[in-house]
Structure 1
């Protein structure tokens, strides 16, 4: 029992580290090579988890080999453009100037139903309203409508708009003080205690979320007390 537990924990963290090295991507955003790697690693990990007669290294070594190969291919893709195109492919323009590129769709085995579904999901009902529709390497469809189909911006309307978009920094997360973020904002524990006092709070444990934006504004969300 303990052997199964230990083997599972080791393989779990090994796979988590490997996927973390691949970057922060969702399954639908994986390149073909990354998706194949993920599927192969999952298959390799299940065998030593279930069959105790197989040495743990028989699963660990292939997984480490695949991860090393993936990192090598990623590095080669950064160095060589042709290798990147070979491994990852190139984006394909399915709609150009409101006209469906039928040959390109056939080459990518992309059906008309799939194209119309993707357009509808992005709020586009008419092909002529699209200037470019690009099938990305991840399989997602990027839709770029004509300028006349897009909402006007403040710059196009010649309006002077104050840029009040700020990036808040989390200082307290579910009752826990993030000291690194607090120091990065140029404040200390005494300043934080003052902010809590202004919110009529006596302890950080009473705070669910507390943030500080670039304008110096503090936002506090108190914890809910359930009966």
Structure 2
């Protein structure tokens, strides 16, 4: 117990100790960065902080880390500038991706067909690292009780599984260019 109390006190005390200046700095940092994030989202579009692709996910993680380190760090301007640069890079990459199929294929994961006409595509599932149990759970969550009902189940680049049911042998017009 003699060791526990000082360790706990050390964990719960900021580096320079508790002070009014410390609390004001944290509150102002949070408010300013919150306003900056809102302005960035409005200026660069909702996709800036939405998880669509693996690249977008990485940008979101980096942005969260920058915001946290800016709030807790000494210099808010450095973190704000880094966050603006990160948002600009994300905007540039998403703009180029929307204009160029080749660029899109470099920065984005391709969709993968996991079920085709009621049959699991086991090789594609292994490459995508999706178990049959996980895929069955996705089917059930979309109201599908039998894999035989599924025309196509596609792992999208953002990680969601799209499920198409019904009759027909033809592939849909939105079928992935590079299926797994």
1:6 lines up with 2:39 in the alignment: no
Please state how far the C-alpha of 1:18 moved relative to its aligned partner: 2.8
User: Retained in 1: the 8 A contact 2:149–2:166?
Assistant: yes
CA distance in 1, matches of 2:31, 2:77: 14
- Output aligned runs, 1:76-95, within 5 Å: 76-95=96-115
**Higher relative contact order structure (alpha carbons within 8 Å, sequence separation ≥ 6):** 2
Map of 1:42 onto structure 2: 64
Please state how far the C-alpha of 1:108 moved relative to its aligned partner: 0.8
Map of 1:138 onto structure 2: 158
Map of 2:81 onto structure 1: 61
Unaligned runs of at least 5 residues, structure 2: 1-20, 169-180
Map of 2:173 onto structure 1: none
Closer, same or farther: CA 57–24 of 1 in aligned 2, 3 Å: closer
Moved over 4 A (4+): 24-27
Q: For each residue in 1:73-111, what CA deviation from the matched residue of structure 2 results, as whole angstroms up to 9, or x when unmatched?
A: 011112210110121222111111111111111111111
Closer, same or farther: CA 141–26 of 1 in aligned 2, 3 Å: farther
Q: Secondary structure at the match of 2:80?
A: helix
- Output aligned runs, 1:183-202, within 5 Å: none
User: Retained in 2: the 8 A contact 1:8–1:49?
Assistant: yes
User: Retained in 2: the 8 A contact 1:134–1:143?
Assistant: yes
What's the RMSD between the two structures over aligned residues?
A: 2.1
Q: Secondary structure at the match of 1:3?
A: helix
Q: Pick the structure with greater CA Rg.
A: 1
User: Retained in 2: the 8 A contact 1:15–1:41?
Assistant: no
Q: For each residue in 1:29-61, what CA deviation from the matched residue of structure 2 results, as whole angstroms up to 9, or x when unmatched?
A: 53111111111111111123123xx22222112
> What's the TM-score once normalised by structure 2's chain length?
0.73
Q: Secondary structure at the match of 2:164?
A: strand
Which one has a larger percent helix, Structure 1 or Structure 2? 2
> What's the TM-score once normalised by structure 1's chain length?
0.58
User: Retained in 1: the 8 A contact 2:49–2:56?
Assistant: no
1:98 lines up with 2:118 in the alignment: yes
CA distance in 2, matches of 1:25, 1:40: 12
